[in-house]
Structure formats: structure tokens, C-alpha cells
Amino acid sequence: MAKKSQIRVKAQRGKDTSQRTRKKRANSATQGIKFQLVTFLTQHSSQSFDFKELCKRLLLKDKKSKIKLEEYVQELVFSETIIKKDDGSLQINTEPDDVTGTIDFVNANFAFLVSPGVENDLWISSEDLMGALNGDKVKAHIYETGRGKKLEGKVVEILERAKDTFVGKIQILAKYAFVTPDTRKMFYDIFVPKDRIGKAKDGDKVIVKISKYPEGNDNPEGVVTQVLGKAGEHNTEIHAIMAEYGLPFQFTDELESEAGTLSTVITESEINKRRDFRNISTFTIDPEDAKDFDDALSFEELPNGNYEIGVHIADVTHYILPDTELEKEAYKRATSVYLVDRTIPMLPEKLSNELCSLRPNEDKLTFSAVFEIDKKAKIIKEWFGRTVIHSNRRFSYEQAQEIMDANEGEFVKELLILNDLAKKMRDERMKKGAISFETDEVKFKLDEKGTPLSVYLKIRKDTHKLIEEFMLLANKKVAEFVYNKEKGKNKLTMVYRVHERPDQEKLKTLSVFVKKLGYNIETEGNKISQSLNEMMEQAVDKPEGNALQNLAIRTMAKARYSTEPLGHFGLAFSHYSHFTSPIRRYPDMMAHRLLQIYLNGGESASASTFEEKCKHSSEREKNAADAERASIKYKQVELMHLNGNGVFEGVVTGVTEFGVYVELVENHCEGLVRMADIGDDFYEHDPKNYRIVGKHTGNIISFGEKVFVKVKSTNLEKRNIDLIFVKNLPKSLKNKGTDSSSEKTENLKRGFKEEYGFDL
């Protein structure tokens, strides 16, 4: 089999370690309601029960628990762990030898079958996958190995393929060709007959569609459907990322035509239906390079000394009507995607940059949340509805910040008052338990060909936080308004942005680890957020600060969209929605439509219909985030490929059984020091302590530790940076922290100059 390079690991050690890690994760995931459900049905395997009876038998009385039970029922029916009969009753599947799940292809030698129907993920040899690829839904037979190991599996049926197209580099030989896929979890080269390579040339990056999936020891076969260009070139690699994540390259002519028919004229009859804000001071604050302005703030001082502040949002749903092709495309995309060099918009330019964009000195249709706020930032009154505005000024964040800093300029009074109110609102959020993590946002300076010249971090100033607070206020109040509108009755369906409390086991694991670094976090009660904030305040200027924050974020649950009002843990809001960015997010369009229905006195929309749309939006959001990260990683690798000479200071950001991840302080690029490249000893992975330990020397390399590395190699196509540790550091460098003082910086530079003969 012409597979990719085998991963060099000790098979048994890798297998056992992975199983232990996965067992821990699976144990935490299967406890509680899901565990009770499976246990109860197993104990009563000859009987079936309806949902109401199950709630009664499992002593589930509160709404949240019943919602969770319903989610687990759907999940377990999907995995065929339980059976749903024709009358709707539920019964355990009495054929336990087979289980349905999704393939997680770990490396070329084995995969795991992830299924809610089994306590631990099943280990499956690549020889027993029956040609299944990563992400495929399969049915597998569970069996005992008889060698003292846990359960293993063998795929007996492939139920659903995850994907049929791949992006990769083509190698053309005399009679045939192979495409080596970019995606890391595809461990087969794809065979392409010579007459099916199209116009591809050797070394091109192509899109290949699978025509025959692997069987036995055979490779999959495919046909080249598109040539993206020469591998390694900027546009080629960005297009490859777009293709890999299924991102559209453009809008169809039909969609552009439909957008072109939308009228730019705002009629008097339309204005008369709306609240008119055109004579109120209004402005937008956005990034310098922004083209679509979907939010604006209006400001008016009232006779009673309070302020009326309007949060005005582009009225996208006025232009995009249900069941139109534009509506269908917006739902399909669900979000705009921001790659390093381009934006892939959710809406055509006629809408995103023209009709809906709140450009200065133009009348614009908006959907608004308007608040009367006193000087202490308390909300006195609120109003929601459709409006018309006329923005007086378009500020960039930098321009608005300069005016506030200088205390002079256009709208200086309004900006300063808004900033004061925003700070008070933020302080109130923090008191109520909001988490104040602020992750670094990496930006690149590119030349006209897309080559990275430098990398920098986006600095969040008061103007960013000002806009953020008023957007949070509008999102929160819209959600609360809908939730509270039908007190005592069935709640109205709404699209909420939910962020559940972190998993208890994950928090405990994090707590044990950070304690070894000198930090303390609470794992129970109401002080979890406060302790996390305190930890990050203590670590902000320390080498491990950024890595520690990323670790804490990974411990948190992922925010998602749902029709269930489960609250937002990170923001400390009991109800929260997304209302303020309908140009770039489909859930905001849904929120606008639902809010207008309820303002008109309409009945609740279908919860099941909108829940399905919420799930789709959450999936598309994750896909967009993965694509954005891939484009950033590509530019980081390219930057190091071009400028990777010398020695770099770094911080250990991850420790695994196959190597140590290091983030470079200078440019925030991350690379891997492989175990095989640490030549002074044989190192063993200590996962509980996030470190590796030298078997003979006792040397320790730990998470958060400052290290010095050199670039060994870069792989632009795989988006990998391989690093090696710099050995035998001069005494002047050992045991130094990352103090930014000029004296220590100069000592550091001198030490490297003396030791290596070149500048750091």
C-alpha cells in the first residue's frame, strides 16, 4: 500500500496512552443522565418506555435535565445504542456486539471509533477499517482480543462517507499519478489513472474526487476535478485551504443577478413605518480596512440628564426575504470567513458593502435596540424596532481612540461619555462572574503577492471595548426581551448564543496542573470565573501567560447556537443572542426575523425548525474558524520558511507523546520539537504534569517553560514547522526569565553573540 510516511511511535505505548486519554474523556462524557439512561434500559432490556415514563423513572423533574435527556435519546438512537419503536417508545438494542459511530483516524496504523454507545472509544487497526476514512460513519463489531487489552473493533459496514473530495499535491509518473492529500488525517495517497488527471502538471495542487474507495490493501482511486496551481504559491495554497474546508470561491451569476435587482431607493412609505433617527448624532466605529459597517451608535442627551443610546444594526432581512435564492445561500454559508488575505462573505457585495452597509452620509434602514441609560450605566428604558438612520461619521478604531486620548475632535463628548458607560458596564459584568480572557489575534503584513513581511498582534484599545460592550448589551437585552415576553406561558422560540459551564472533570484536571505552577482555581460554586480571571491576571507578564490562557480556554465548553435558553457562562448572562452582525452571521438574521414576529404579536415559531438551523450554523462557524486557523498557520510557516535563520526564544505550549510544541515569542509562530530530535536522552511523556522527563538524566521540559530553538525545517504544503532545541546555552542565558527590561535584553543578545557568533 502506498501510504504516507508512517508516524514513528512505539505502537504499544502510543496505543495504551491514547486509550487512557480517551477513556478519561469518555468516562466524563458518559456519566450523569446518559449513563443513567443506558443503565436503566439495560436493566430492563425486555421492556420499552416512552419519554415521559423515562423522566419519571430517572427522577428528572427540572426542564434542563429533561432537555438533556432528549438530546441523549436522539444521540443514542442515532448510534443505534437504543431503538425507537413505531409507537415512539424506547428500548435498549439487545445486539451489543455491533456499534455505530464515527471514525477518528489517529495515524496510519490505527483509528478509534467514537460512539456514545460504548464507554471507551474502540481501538481499530487500519487493516480492520474496511476502507473507512476519517469522519466516516460506520458499524463495527466489538470483540475481546484475549491479550489482556480492552475492547477492540472491526468495521463491518460503512454507513456514510464524510467526504468524497480531497485537496493535495499531484505526482505524475509514467503510467499513472498519485495525489498526496493535505489533510492530516488522510493516510492514503489517491491513485489517479493517467487519463483522469485533466490539465494537471507534476507538482500542481489539485482537487481530486474519489471514484473508488479503498478496499483491502488498495489505495482509493480518483479523478482530478480542478487544478488550483503550482503547489507552494500563495493563491494556490489559499485556494487549497478554501477547497479543503468547502468554502465557495464566488457567488453564482444567478445570485449576483438577484442581488442586483434589489432597489437602492428608500421610499417615504417605508420610512413612515419606522422610527426616524436621522436627526440624531450617529456614527460607526470599525477596523481601518472594513468595507461593511453593520452597526452604528446614536447618542442623545435627554432633558432629565440621562442618555438615549441607540444600537442600530443593518436591516438585512428587509432586503433578503424567506425562500429566495439569496436567503438559501446565506443559510448555506451561515457565516463570512476571514482568511489572512481575503474575506469570503456570506452576502454578495451589493448587499454587504452597499445596500446594508451603514455608510456615512446616507440614509439606511436598520433594526435597533434603543436604551435610556443613566450616568451610572443603569438601563432605565428599552425599545426594539425597525428604524432609519443617517450616519454622520465613519471612524476607524484608531481615529476614535486618538480623539478620546487628545480630548478634542469630532464627537469627542459623545465618545468620552460612551467610553465611561462602557467601562461601568464591563465592571458590572466582571462582578457578576464574566471571564475576562483576551486571546491574542495574529495579523500579517503582506506584500502585493501575498508574501508575509511581518506578523503582529491586534491591540485591543478602549474603542474596541466600547463597541463590544454596547453590542453585548443589545444582544443580551434582545434575548431577555423575547424570553420574558410570554411569562407563565410556553416560551417563544428564539435563537440563543449559549455557553455552558465547563466540564467538572476538565476543570479539576486544569486545577491540579496549574497548582503546580503556583496558581489556584476553583472547580465548584460561583467563584470559578473569578478564580480564572485572577489566575490570568497573575500570569499576564509571565512566560506561560498566553499558553496558560489557551489551555484554560480549551477547558471551557464551546459556545454554540441553540433554541434552548441555557445562558452564557463566559459572559455571565442568563440569556444572550446574536443580533448585531446580520451582514456576516446567519443566526443574527434569524434573531431579527423572530424578534419582528413577536413585536408584531405573532405566535411562536417552530422550535425544531430553528434548532436544526442553529446546529447547522454552529457547524459552519466551526468550519470557518478551522479554515481561518489553517490560513494563519500557512502564513506562519511561510514566514519562518523565509526568515527562519537564527535562534529564537520560545515558550512550551504543549507536550505530547511525540514531541513538544513551542510558540516563538518574537512572532507567535508555533512549531514542534519531535521526540526523535531531542538527542541528549530518551524522554518519556508525563501527561498528568504536562511535561516530558529524560529517562537517564532526569531532565524535565514542562508546559510554560522558556526554551531556545532553531528551525530545522518547514513544510508549506503540510503547514508544519519542525524545531530543534538549542543545546549548551551560555551561562548568561540559563535560568533567565522573559523580563522585558533593556538590561536583561541586552545581556541576552550579548550572550548569544558570544556563544554563536551571530545576533539573536
Q: Which three cell numbers stand for residue 400?
A: 476614535
Query: Is residue 20 over pLDDT 50?
Result: no
Per the CB < 8 A criterion, the answer to whether 600 and 651 are in contact is no
β-sheet bridge partners, residue 330: none
Residue 44's CB is within 10 A of a number of other CB atoms, namely: 13
Query: Is residue 2 over pLDDT 50?
Result: no
Question: Could you read off the pLDDT of 619-661 as tens digits, one per residue?
Answer: 999 999 999 999 999 999 999 999 888 899 999 988 988 899 9
- The burial of 547, by beta-carbon neighbours within 10 Å (0-12 exposed, 13-18 middle, 19 or more buried), is given as buried
- The burial of 260, by beta-carbon neighbours within 10 Å (0-12 exposed, 13-18 middle, 19 or more buried), is given as exposed
CATH number of 11-156: 2.40.50.140
Tell me what the mean pLDDT of segment 235-247 comes to.
92
Per the CB < 8 A criterion, the answer to whether 142 and 101 are in contact is no
Task: Give which of 240, 253, 284, 693 is closest to 467, Cα–Cα.
Answer: 284
Query: Is residue 745 over pLDDT 80?
Result: no
Query: Is residue 379 over pLDDT 80?
Result: yes
Q: Which three cell numbers stand for residue 273?
A: 413605518
Banded model confidence at residue 735, pLDDT cuts 50, 70, 90:
very low
Q: Amino acid identity, residue 645?
A: N
State which H helix or E strand residue 216 sits in.
none
Say how many CA atoms lie within 13 Å of 357 toward its Cβ: 18
- The number of residues making up the chain comes to 760
β-sheet bridge partners, residue 707: 650
Question: What's the rounded Cα separation, in Å, for the pair 134 and 182?
Answer: 13
State which H helix or E strand residue 270 sits in.
helix 268-272
Question: Could you read off the pLDDT of 563-573 as tens digits, one per residue?
Answer: 999 999 999 99
Query: Is residue 343 over pLDDT 90?
Result: yes
Residue 759, pLDDT score? 40
Task: Give which of 658, 672, 659 is closest to 715, Cα–Cα.
Answer: 672
Residue 83, pLDDT score? 85
Of 488 and 665, the structure prediction assigns the larger pLDDT to 665
Query: Is residue 159 over pLDDT 60?
Result: yes
Answer whether 11-156 and 638-756 agree in fold: yes
Query: Is residue 10 over pLDDT 80?
Result: no
Residue 489, pLDDT score? 64
Question: Could you read off the pLDDT of 26-61 as tens digits, one per residue?
Answer: 333 334 787 788 878 878 888 899 988 998 888 888
Task: Give which of 593, 566, 564, 589 is closest to 578, Cα–Cα.
Answer: 589
Residue 23, pLDDT score? 40
Radius of gyration of the chain (CA): 28
72-81, 161-170, 263-272, 343-352: which range is least confident on average?
72-81
Question: What's the rounded Cα separation, in Å, for the pair 549 and 754?
Answer: 35
Per the CB < 8 A criterion, the answer to whether 387 and 312 are in contact is yes
Per the CB < 8 A criterion, the answer to whether 238 and 228 are in contact is no
Question: What's the rounded Cα separation, in Å, for the pair 495 and 178?
Answer: 46
Question: What's the rounded Cα separation, in Å, for the pair 504 and 510?
Answer: 10
Banded model confidence at residue 241, pLDDT cuts 50, 70, 90:
very high
Burial 139-177 (b: 16+ CB within 10 A, else e): bbebeeeeeeeebbbbbeebeeeeeeebbbbbebeeeeb
- Looking at 31-95, list the stretches that DSSP marks H as alpha helix, in order from N- to C-terminal side: 33-43, 51-57, 63-78
Look-up: residue for cell 472547580? 523
Question: What's the rounded Cα separation, in Å, for the pair 386 and 321?
Answer: 16
Question: What's the rounded Cα separation, in Å, for the pair 617 and 335?
Answer: 8
Q: What is the dihedral of CA 729, 732, 733, 736, to 10 degrees?
A: 150
Residue 95, pLDDT score? 60
Considering the chain, what is the average pLDDT of its residues? Answer: 86
CA 484 to centroid of chain Cα atoms: 30
Question: Could you read off the pLDDT of 381-410 as tens digits, one per residue?
Answer: 999 999 999 999 999 999 999 999 999 999
Strand bridging mode 496-498 / 560-562: antiparallel
Residue 486's CB is within 10 A of a number of other CB atoms, namely: 12
Query: Is residue 6 over pLDDT 50?
Result: no
Q: What is the 3-state secondary structure (H, E, C) of 133-145?
A: CCCCEEEEEEECC
Strand bridging mode 337-338 / 343-344: antiparallel
Query: Is residue 25 over pLDDT 70?
Result: no
Query: Is residue 734 over pLDDT 60?
Result: no
Of 66 and 202, the structure prediction assigns the larger pLDDT to 202
**Which of 412-421, 490-499, 537-546 is modeled with the greatest confidence?**
412-421
Query: Is residue 191 over pLDDT 50?
Result: yes
Query: Is residue 732 over pLDDT 60?
Result: no
Instruction: Tell me the CA end-to-end span of the chain in Å, nearest whole number.
Output: 46
Question: CB within 8 A of 416, min separation 6: which ones?
Answer: 404, 407
DSSP class of residue 687 equals: G
Task: Give which of 116, 155, 117 is closest to 136, Cα–Cα.
Answer: 155
Residue 312, pLDDT score? 98
- The burial of 496, by beta-carbon neighbours within 10 Å (0-12 exposed, 13-18 middle, 19 or more buried), is given as buried
Query: Is residue 746 over pLDDT 90?
Result: no
Per the CB < 8 A criterion, the answer to whether 701 and 654 are in contact is no
State which H helix or E strand residue 445 sits in.
strand 442-446
Question: Could you read off the pLDDT of 287-302 as tens digits, one per residue?
Answer: 988 888 999 999 999 9
Task: Give which of 152, 186, 153 is closest to 169, Cα–Cα.
Answer: 186
Residue 123, pLDDT score? 87
Pick the CATH number of 165-244 from 2.60.120.920, 1.10.8.60, 2.40.50.700, 3.40.50.2000: 2.40.50.700
- Please state the φ and ψ torsions of residue 574, each to the nearest 5 degrees: -75, -25
Q: Is the dihedral of CA 182, 188, 189, 195 positive or negative?
A: negative
Boundaries of every domain in the chain: 11-156, 165-244, 278-498+567-622, 504-556, 638-756
Query: Is residue 487 over pLDDT 80?
Result: no
Banded model confidence at residue 488, pLDDT cuts 50, 70, 90:
low
Question: What's the rounded Cα separation, in Å, for the pair 17 and 686?
Answer: 10
Look-up: residue for cell 503584513? 445
SS3 12: helix
Of 322 and 443, the structure prediction assigns the larger pLDDT to 322
DSSP string, 408-424: -STTHHHHHHHHHHHHH
Residue 438, pLDDT score? 73
Residue 97, pLDDT score? 66
Query: Is residue 605 over pLDDT 50?
Result: yes
Q: Which three cell numbers stand for residue 445?
A: 503584513
Banded model confidence at residue 150, pLDDT cuts 50, 70, 90:
low
Question: Could you read off the pLDDT of 320-333 as tens digits, one per residue?
Answer: 999 999 999 999 99
pTM of this structure: 0.80
Architecture of the domain delimited by 638-756: Beta Barrel (2.40)
Query: Is residue 308 over pLDDT 60?
Result: yes
β-sheet bridge partners, residue 153: 142
**Which of 171-185, 462-476, 642-656, 714-728 is modeled with the greatest confidence?**
462-476
Q: Which three cell numbers stand for residue 82?
A: 437504543
Tell me what the mean pLDDT of segment 93-112 comes to.
81
SS3 574: coil
